Amino acid sequence: MSIEEHYIRNSSDLPGPEVTRRITLDDESASKSGHGTLHLFKLPKIGDYLWDFRLCSHALVRSSGDPAARWSHNPIHHVESIMDYVESAHFCTGNPENSIAWVQNGTMNNHQRPSNFFGGLRSPAASAMHCDTQLNLEELLCAEMGFFRDMPLIAAGLDHEDLYIGLKFRKEPPMKYFIDYNVGFLTDQAIINRIKEGLVRCETGVLQGCTYEPRVLNYQFGCLGLD
C-alpha cells in the first residue's frame, strides 16, 4: 500500500484550524538545573498546529545602588526583563538533547512575526520589546522565539515525538516569566487522518542562532525528520 505524500511550500496551503487557543507555561512548570541557568519545558500534547512561540515577563525595576542617587529627587532605576538574563532558546524533539532549532538573545529581540498563517488567520500582536521612563509595570515585555519561518509545527503528525523548549540563562533569573504559543485544532477527522497516515513535507526555514537555514520538515509515522 503506497503512502500518500503531501508537499507544503507555504503555510496558506495548510487547512486552517477551526479553533485556536493560547497555551501558557510559567517558569514553575519547567525542570531546572541545580544552578538555575538551564530551564526545560515539556510541551503538552495538545492541538494539531503549534506556532507563535514567545518568551515573556513583567518588568523588574532595580535601583542604581548609588547611595547618592537613592536620596535624589530623581533616583536612577534600572529596568530589567527576562531578556536581560536569557542567552538562548532551543526547540527540541524526541529528547531534550535533540535541538533542531535555536535562537540567540539578540535575534529574539529583533524577530518579527509573519503577517498571517493559513491564508489569513492572524495571531494576536505581541507587546513591543522596549522600555521608557513612563514604563507601565503591568505591561508584559515579550520577545518572539521564531523557531520556524512562516510555518507552524504540525503537531497532528507527531504522535510519537515529545516536544521541548529549553532556555539557557547567563545567570539564574530573579523574576517570574512564562512562555506561550498558539495551538490550533482541526475538526475534520479526514484531514487529521491524512496527516497521520501519510507523508507531509513542509518547506521552511529553521532558525540556527541568528539565521534561517532552508530545510524540509518531514512528518511520517508520528515522527519528525529534517532534510
What pLDDT score does 140 carry? 78
pLDDT tops 50 at residue 185: yes
List, in order, residues 6 or more apart from 23 with CB less than 8 Å away: 43, 44, 46, 47, 180, 181, 182, 183
d(CA 165, CA 155): 15
pLDDT tops 80 at residue 21: yes
What pLDDT score does 98 carry? 95
Of residues 78 and 25, more confidence is placed in: 25
In the numeric block, the cell 509545527 is attached to 153
Q: Using alpha carbons, list the distances in angstroms from residue 163 to 52, 53, 119, 198.
A: 15, 13, 26, 21
In percent, the amount of the chain with pLDDT more than 70 equals: 78
d(CA 208, CA 146): 10
Within a 10 A sphere around the Cβ of 65, how many other Cβ atoms? 9
The number of domains in the chain is 1
d(CA 92, CA 167): 11
pLDDT tops 50 at residue 116: no
Least Cα distance to 191 among 183, 204, 200, 182 occurs for 200
Helix (H, G, I), strand (E, B) or coil at 26: strand
CATH of the domain at 142: 2.70.9
Segment 134-152, tens digit of pLDDT:
445 566 789 999 999 999 9
Instruction: Give the mean model confidence (pLDDT) for residues 18-44.
Output: 96
Q: How would residue 58 be classed by pLDDT, with cut points 50, 70 and 90?
A: confident
Q: Using alpha carbons, list the distances in angstroms from residue 132 to 9, 77, 108.
A: 41, 11, 19
Q: Residue 177 belongs to what domain range?
A: 5-64+73-226
What pLDDT score does 134 carry? 42
